[in-house]
Structure 1
Amino acid sequence: MSSATHGATPYYFVPGPSSHPVMAAIGLFFVILGASQWINGASWGAWSLAFGMVFWLVTLFRWFRDAVNESEGGMYGRKIDLSYRWSMSWFIFSEVMFFGAFFTALWWARAHSVPALGSLDNALLWPDFKAVWPSLAAGVTASPADIIEPFTTMGPFWLPTINTALLLSSGVTLTIAHHALRENQRGRTIAFMWMTVLLGTTFLFVQGYEYFHAYSELNLKLTSGVFGSTFYMLTGFHGFHVLVGMLMLLFITLRLQKGHFTADNHFGFEGAAWYWHFVDVVWLGLYVLVYWL
């Protein structure tokens, strides 16, 4: 959001009729239809999925472009600023609940499910079962029937620790960029924003290599019992959120280079920063609970 004004800023801006919501829904319809048919063996599902994704992304681009033009045209006043802040706050809250569900699943498996399977009630069914977390080999914990291949867990050294340093550093560079923008130092802001984007991109490449290492050398897969499923669900969804946050920061940086945002009014920047700091906090929880404990 920018504070550029051309004439009087309205007390509350009401946009005109728009086809963007309907078009976005159509795109998502083809995405869901294609994905559901593709995983069920229909070859045309992949084409429907690809068409829906392109259609949806083009619609989002046009929608965001209109919002940027409205902002730069001075149509957004204090009420719109507040509505954006509340919207972003509730969105991040929903993301907290999203990750909270997966963290709870990890805790429940470790603290309740595995100990329950090792109780006296199940001793007759699996007399050799050892209720130890995490499962390191077939038949030890997650696979009393020997249906899961042996695997090695992913420890904190060194790739996860490197990624932790990358994300924490990106939070620092983003904060420096924010303070520079508030001091109207646009060049310094842009420089530190590019550093933040680079750190986020590097994180994704390191995580990609970590997954390759886990699959090829540790035999750690999504099918590796409850440990494998919770590991990939938590780290995978977090990686997707890093990708989304990195794209948000990239577009904010490009807008900064075009002269958007001011020292006094720049919620587009702040909203992306909120999201990125949230991603940082989630990773710290992952780093401790998944890699260390």
Structure 2
Amino acid sequence: MSADQNSDHYFIPDPSPWPVIGMVSLLLALIGTALTMNGVGIGKYVTIAGLVLFAVLLFGWFSDVVRENLSDCYNRQVDRSFRMGMMWFIASEVFFFGAFFGSLFYIRNIAVPWLGGDGYLGVTQELLYGEYQPVWPTHGPAEVGGDFAPMGPWGVPAINTFLLLSSGATITWAHWGLKLNKQNHLVWGLIATIVLGLLFAALQAWEYGHAYNELNLTLGTGIYGSTFYMLTGFHGFHVCMGAIMLMAILGRSMKGHFSPHNHFAFEAVAWYWHFVDVVWLGLFIFVYWL
């Protein structure tokens, strides 16, 4: 039954195993990561198994959704539910990164001054951390992790900022190509966005290697090192996930799955990508620059 014929009925999919598979895959990845960080040899294999199962989940679940969409199972009510679901997902991502930015603010503007003698906890400085200098970036009292060099805003971070801002323009170009029914603009805009995203990830990987090997900036380098890798690492993960989603959208675009009036999957990924761009601007300013 078509969407127009079924406009008064909400589509109810058949029972699916994918939520359970998703739970198992994420649990395996979490356990494997914890084991690896604690030096247990089997940990990396458990992590790989979890990630592979998660990839199977994504392919299988989204394949089901694509087939349902192409079979004209969805009506406007389903479309609205997809849009609301994506909006709430991005909202959850906003709070996710907001928590890390909030932690960075608390550490830099409250905890570090306290340790340096400011505020009502100032009396503790002479008793506990008499030689501590409350200057950011810091690796904390007792110089946890040894000397290190902080990351500056220019060089790779500035280049990556240019790449992501450019990718925001290319995906917008692709979107306008789709809305104007210009297949060539859609495909090449997506290709350009994917290439820029992958270049960003490659440069960030190089930056991490440089930081670890030459700057002694590691996860063990006090609070600066841990917050730096936590914020930039999760963002890099989101860039990689966004690039994978764009590749899937590119494949569907080349098969002609989208039309100017039916392309929510493209819009959802575009929303996600623009969110990733905005988060990076915050990182560039508050992590690298200030």
TM-score (norm 1): 0.90
1:235-274 mapped onto 2 (5 Å cutoff): 235-274=232-271
Measured in 2, the distance between the counterparts of 1:23 and 1:181 equals 34
* Superposed CA offset, 1:154-176 (max 9, x none): 10111100000000000001101
The one-letter amino acid paired with 1:249 is L
* Greater RCO (CA < 8 Å, at least 6 residues apart): 1
Partner residue, 1:138: none
Q: 5+ unaligned residues in a row in structure 2: which ranges?
A: none
Measured in 2, the distance between the counterparts of 1:194 and 1:33 equals 35
1:133/1:30 Cα in 2 relative to 1: closer, same or farther (>3 Å)?
closer
Give yes or no for contact 1:13–1:76 (8 Å, CA) kept in 2.
yes
Measured in 2, the distance between the counterparts of 1:146 and 1:192 equals 48
Give yes or no for contact 2:174–2:189 (8 Å, CA) kept in 1.
yes
Partner residue, 2:280: 283
1:10-25 mapped onto 2 (5 Å cutoff): 10=7, 11-25=9-23
Give the % identical residues: 48
1:253/1:50 Cα in 2 relative to 1: closer, same or farther (>3 Å)?
same
The one-letter amino acid paired with 2:149 is T
Measured in 2, the distance between the counterparts of 1:33 and 1:129 equals 37
The one-letter amino acid paired with 1:123 is E
Q: Does 1:123 align with 2:123?
A: no
Q: Does 1:102 align with 2:100?
A: yes
Q: Does 1:50 align with 2:53?
A: no
The one of 211, 222, 227 equivalent to 1:225 is: 222
Measured in 1, the distance between the counterparts of 2:22 and 2:76 equals 28
* Superposed CA offset, 1:200-229 (max 9, x none): 000001111111111122111111111111
1:238/1:28 Cα in 2 relative to 1: closer, same or farther (>3 Å)?
closer
Measured in 2, the distance between the counterparts of 1:6 and 1:257 equals 24
How many Å apart are 1:97 and its aligned residue? 0.4
Partner residue, 2:89: 91
TM-score (norm 2): 0.91
1:89-168 mapped onto 2 (5 Å cutoff): 89-119=87-117, 120-121=122-123, 122-135=125-138, 142-168=139-165
Give yes or no for contact 1:6–1:73 (8 Å, CA) kept in 2.
no
How many Å apart are 1:292 and its aligned residue? 0.9
Give yes or no for contact 1:9–1:74 (8 Å, CA) kept in 2.
no
1:8/1:200 Cα in 2 relative to 1: closer, same or farther (>3 Å)?
same
